[in-house]
């Protein structure tokens, strides 16, 4: 059966709330898919309740074949996934994408770029079952299977990647800490009430974020490296509460050595940290680094 990849938010964490752009990509290293097994509540977890939620929610713009969903559940359907929960990788987003793909009677096609906003709204309401409030970004990326550029309230846009394979490599560092997004978003919003912090965000992190996205999409490794370093430095100085203490020495080492740098990958607080190295040798020196292939 079809795999639904997890997602990584590469750039725009937190500041996307204030209208900055953000870039999210599918990450096939973790994924989920439909499977059938024994009719076991432990395997199916919240799926029966999710079916009831969709029946009661009556989401505008989509008609689900819930009779087929319930019949499949009775026959042992479950979502087989290795996407870690609490890592910001879109574990519930992948599930929502899979349900929409399989049970929406007339789903919006992946190539229908004119209706991405409508699709995102539908998926956001679906994911509300898991998170109370959802932007719909995670299931959108998981459903489309393409990088998505979020444009400060405008319609999301599917974007191509043109990053050369010989350029500075991206990698992930696993903090081995699960976390929830909400508390760290709330922390950012609380800090943003301070005028001095607002000014620093607008003057420093927003331009660096814009430059990083533009450089990555253009395949400009040199510009990307400088923008990434600027983001790493800013987050070390102003998002310290969002960086797990066990990662701080490595973060500081990157800022000091200047041959790799770390940044938050999503809300922070745990999950993965995103890294960029000047070259493969610098990345390989970090035994806990996991290379990312686009």
pTM as predicted? 0.91
**For residue 132, pLDDT beyond 80:** no
Average pLDDT over residues 172-189: 91
Average pLDDT over residues 140-155: 89
- Closest C-alpha to 117, from 140, 86, 147, 90: 140
CA atoms within 13 A on the CB side of 106: 4
pLDDT number for residue 163 = 76
Residues of the chain with pLDDT > 90: what percent? 78
Three-class secondary structure of residue 42 per DSSP: helix
Backbone angles phi, psi at 187, to 5 degrees: -60, -45
Residues of the chain with pLDDT > 70: what percent? 99
The burial class, CB within 10 Å (0-12 / 13-18 / 19+), for 29 is: middle
> Both tokens of residue 224?
């990307």
Rounded CA-CA distance 109/86 in Å is 29
pLDDT number for residue 193 = 94
Kindly give, in sequence order, each residue whose CB lies less than 8 Å from that of residue 168, ignoring residues fewer than 6 positions away: 221, 224, 225, 276, 277, 278, 279
pLDDT number for residue 61 = 93
Find the distance separating the first CA and the last CA of the chain, reported in whole Å: 23
Average pLDDT over residues 163-170: 79
pLDDT number for residue 2 = 92
Rounded CA-CA distance 247/232 in Å is 13
**For residue 153, pLDDT beyond 80:** no
Highest mean pLDDT among 42-46, 218-222, 256-260, 290-294: 256-260
**For residue 4, pLDDT beyond 80:** yes
Please state the three-class secondary structure of 147-185 as a single string. Answer: CEEEECCEEEEECCCCCCCCCCCEEEEECCCCCCHHHHH
Considering the chain, what is the average pLDDT of its residues?
92
Q: What is the dihedral of CA 67, 70, 72, 74, to 10 degrees?
A: -130
Kindly give, in sequence order, each residue whose CB lies less than 8 Å from that of residue 9, ignoring residues fewer than 6 positions away: 22, 23, 24, 88, 137, 265, 266
Q: How confident is the model at residue 165 (pLDDT cuts 50, 70, 90)?
A: low
Specify the higher pLDDT residue, 60 or 163.
60
Q: What is the pLDDT of residues 67-112, one digit of tens each?
A: 999 999 999 999 999 999 989 899 999 999 999 999 999 999 998 8
How far CA 208 is from CA of 27, 228, 274, in Å, comes to: 24, 7, 16
Q: Which domains does the chain have, with CATH numbers?
A: 4-158 (3.30.230.10), 170-291 (3.30.70.890)
pLDDT number for residue 168 = 86
> Both tokens of residue 113?
């770029």
**For residue 143, pLDDT beyond 90:** yes
Three-class secondary structure of residue 31 per DSSP: strand
- Closest C-alpha to 5, from 127, 130, 89: 89
């Amino acid at each position: 059966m079809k795999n639904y990849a997890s997602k990584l938010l590469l750039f725009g964490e937190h500041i996307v709330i204030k209208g900055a752009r953000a870039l999210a990509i599918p990450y096939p290293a973790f994924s989920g898919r439909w499977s059938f097994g024994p009719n076991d509540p432990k395997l199916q977890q919240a799926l029966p309740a999710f079916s009831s939620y969709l029946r009661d929610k009556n989401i505008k713009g989509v008609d689900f074949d819930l009779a087929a969903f319930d019949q499949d559940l009775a026959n042992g359907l479950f979502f087989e996934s290795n996407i870690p929960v609490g890592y910001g990788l879109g574990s519930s987003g992948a599930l929502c994408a899979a349900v929409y793909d399989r049970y929406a009677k007339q789903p919006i096609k992946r190539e229908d770029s004119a209706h991405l906003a409508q699709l995102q709204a539908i998926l956001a309401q679906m994911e509300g079952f898991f998170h109370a409030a959802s932007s719909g970004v995670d299931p959108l990326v998981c459903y489309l299977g393409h990088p998505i550029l979020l444009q400060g309230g405008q319609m999301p846009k599917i974007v191509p990647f043109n990053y050369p394979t010989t350029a500075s490599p991206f990698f992930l560092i696993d903090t081995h800490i699960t976390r929830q997004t909400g508390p760290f978003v709330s922390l950012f919003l609380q800090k943003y009430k301070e005028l001095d912090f607002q000014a620093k965000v607008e003057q420093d992190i927003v331009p660096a974020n814009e430059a990083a996205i533009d450089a990555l999409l253009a395949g400009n490794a040199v510009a990307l490296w400088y923008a990434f370093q600027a983001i790493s430095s800013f987050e070390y100085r102003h998002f310290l509460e969002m960086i797990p203490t066990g990662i701080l020495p490595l973060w500081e080492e990157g800022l000091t050595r200047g041959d790799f740098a770390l940044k938050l990958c999503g809300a922070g607080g745990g999950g993965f940290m995103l890294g960029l190295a000047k070259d493969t040798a610098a990345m390989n020196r970090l035994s806990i680094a996991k290379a990312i292939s686009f």
